[in-house]
């Protein structure tokens, strides 16, 4: 198994349910026996009304 990580996150596009899109950051990836695993960071939003 191999693991790679960058000192700076790499921007990636993520397709969310309902056709929404977001820009996330790829922090690291590692190869498992059944495929690749990715560590990403998604932006969070606080929508307040009133």
pTM for this entry: 0.60
- At 13-29, the pLDDT tens digits run 988 888 888 899 999 99
Task: For residue 47, name the pLDDT band (cuts at 50, 70, 90).
Answer: low
Q: Give dist(CA 21, CA 17) in Å, integer.
A: 9
Q: Give dist(CA 21, CA 13) in Å, integer.
A: 7
Collapsing DSSP states into helix, strand and coil, what is residue 12? strand
The phi-psi region of residue 27 (left if phi > 0; otherwise alpha if psi is between -120 and 50; otherwise beta) is alpha
Buried-exposed string 28-38: b where 16+ CB fall within 10 A, e elsewhere: ebeeeeeeeee
């Amino acid at each position: 198994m191999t693991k790679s990580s960058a000192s700076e996150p790499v921007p990636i596009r993520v397709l969310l349910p309902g056709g929404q899109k977001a820009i996330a950051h790829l922090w690291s990836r590692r190869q498992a026996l059944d495929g690749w695993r990715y560590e990403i960071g998604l932006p969070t939003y606080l929508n307040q009304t009133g």
